[in-house]
Amino acid sequence: MNAPLSTAAVRAQLYTEMSPLNLTPLWEVLHALVPPQPATPCVSALWKYEQVRPFLMRAGEAITADEAVRRVLILENPALRGQSAITQSLYAGLQLILPGEVAPSHRHTQSALRFIVEGTGAYTAVDGERTTMRPGDFIITPSWTWHDHGNEAHGPVVWLDGLDIPMIRFFDAGFAQNDSRKSQAVSRPEGTSLARYGYNMAPVRGNAPFGATSPIFNYPYERSREALDRLERDAPLDDWDGFKLRYVNPLTGGSPMPTMATFMQRLPPGFSGNPWRQTDGAVYSVVEGQGEIVIEHAGIQSTLAFGPRDHFVVPSWHTARFKSASGCVLFSYSDRPVHQALGIHQEERLS
Ligand code: 1HN
């Protein structure tokens, strides 16, 4: 007579024999599936511009914008290498366009934002209108709109691309097309969108031209900076964020894109903020000044010291706080609108 199998052996045999039918016992994975709090595989990370820039310029020598279609170095989360992702839902990259180059027209269902990091005078064209890029401008490419970029200025222009690529991939909902033309035809003078939608006014008739996406496609730095300046002078300081504003779709009051929220904040000199955590992982681009972000997760603390044009990522539910001795200005984006639409957004402000 065979000895009775141990409980463990009975289970192991059960799992082995069901596996060919693609069956898996939930009870072995349940805790990982519904963790007591977010358990992101992402880690925090910092990209110093002085280290990245030489590689961007080498890329400029190694491949043309035309050949590359988009000459971009992807900022990959160190824990998600090979996935073209900076968080589980978001993509980030630094794009270079040299004088005389054109990044050819195409469109895709992924939404994109551009945040201008270095250089003036390149343009991006969206749906028949061009806008000139200046450092600190926040520019939108709505889902499924034709877009091309060009540089008619004298120096290199670099910007941060933020896209919802991993999110669209998750939903298997991505489509893309190349245009028959390299540069799209311009059908409206530069500044028309801003005049129509950028002055707390809106056209009397007509629908939102880009559906759920903002009809303003360049939010100029000059104006964002002025708002922060005034708040710094006149408004109470927030102990977590300093002076922080979110960009809005003027037709809805919601985020500029359905999948991504964008923010700009000013930390005044001597700022030492309180810690917070939130479910939306966020990507930051440093516009002006220096500072530090102290990030704590699972008992491990790291301090990222940043300066102008550096980029960093704060993953979901990592506790973070800012310090800035000399003051700074930060742009950031996250997938918050999706969390909010699903009713799963959480934020804690700690002291
Ligand atoms: C894209 O279309 C751009 O238009 C930049 O500049 C980055 C990354 C993946 C897919 C499409 C652009 C991109 C992209």
> Each residue of 25-51: pLDDT tens digit?
999 999 999 999 999 999 999 999 999
Q: Look at residue 14 and tell me if it is in a domain.
A: no
Choose which residue among 163, 164, 175 to substitute to test ligand 1 binding: the one with the highest number of ligand atoms within 8 A of its C-beta. Answer: 163
Residue whose CA is at the smallest distance from ligand 1 atom 6: 70
**What integer pLDDT is reported at residue 280 of this predicted model?**
98
Tokens encoding 345:
């957004």
68 C-alpha to ligand 1 centroid (Å): 11
d(CA 284, CA 110): 20
- Cα–Cα–Cα angle for 27, 29, 30, rounded to 5 degrees: 65
Q: Look at residue 22 and tell me if it is in a domain.
A: no
Q: Look at residue 148 and tell me if it is in a domain.
A: yes
Q: Look at residue 32 and tell me if it is in a domain.
A: no
Residues of 79-98 as b/e, b for ≥16 C-beta within 10 angstroms?
Answer: ebeebbbbbbbbbbbbbbbb
237 C-alpha to ligand 1 centroid (Å): 37
Give yes or no for residue 251 CB within 6 A of ligand 1. Answer: no
**What integer pLDDT is reported at residue 1 of this predicted model?**
59
- The answer, yes or no, to whether residue 3 has pLDDT greater than 90, is no
Mean per-residue pLDDT, 159-180: 98
| 65 residue type, one letter | A
Distances (CA, A) of 153 to 36, 100, 121, 135, 227: 53, 8, 5, 14, 29
- The answer, yes or no, to whether residue 20 has pLDDT greater than 90, is yes
What are 96-111's pLDDT values in tens digits? 999 999 999 999 999 9
Q: Look at residue 20 and tell me if it is in a domain.
A: no
Mean per-residue pLDDT, 304-322: 98
**What integer pLDDT is reported at residue 4 of this predicted model?**
86
Q: Look at residue 138 and tell me if it is in a domain.
A: yes
Give yes or no for residue 162 CB within 6 A of ligand 1. Answer: no
| 331 residue type, one letter | F
What is the distance, to the nearest Å, from the Cα of residue 197 to the centroid of all Cα atoms in its chain? 23
What are 63-84's pLDDT values in tens digits? 999 999 999 999 999 999 999 9
Q: What CATH number is associated with residue 229?
A: 2.60.120.10
**What integer pLDDT is reported at residue 335 of this predicted model?**
98
Tokens encoding 250:
């003027």
**What integer pLDDT is reported at residue 2 of this predicted model?**
75
CB 130 within 8 A of CB 109: no
105 C-alpha to ligand 1 centroid (Å): 11
CB 197 within 8 A of CB 234: no
Give yes or no for residue 97 CB within 6 A of ligand 1. Answer: no
Give yes or no for residue 165 CB within 6 A of ligand 1. Answer: yes
Nearest to 318 by CA among 272, 280, 264: 280
- The answer, yes or no, to whether residue 199 has pLDDT greater than 70, is yes
State which residues form the domain around 311: 39-349
- The answer, yes or no, to whether residue 312 has pLDDT greater than 80, is yes
Q: Look at residue 5 and tell me if it is in a domain.
A: no
206 C-alpha to ligand 1 centroid (Å): 29
Give yes or no for residue 93 CB within 6 A of ligand 1. Answer: yes
What are 109-153's pLDDT values in tens digits? 999 999 999 999 999 999 999 999 999 999 999 999 999 999 999
Domain tally for the chain? 1
Atom of ligand 1 nearest to the CA of 147: 4
What are 216-254's pLDDT values in tens digits? 999 999 999 999 999 999 999 999 999 999 999 999 999
Which residues neighbour 198 within 8 Å (Cβ) at sequence distance 6 or greater? 216, 219, 250
Q: How many CB atoms lie within 10 A of CB 347?
A: 13
Could you tell me what percent of the chain has a pLDDT over 70?
100
152 C-alpha to ligand 1 centroid (Å): 20
Determine if the pTM surpasses 0.95.
yes
Q: Look at residue 21 and tell me if it is in a domain.
A: no
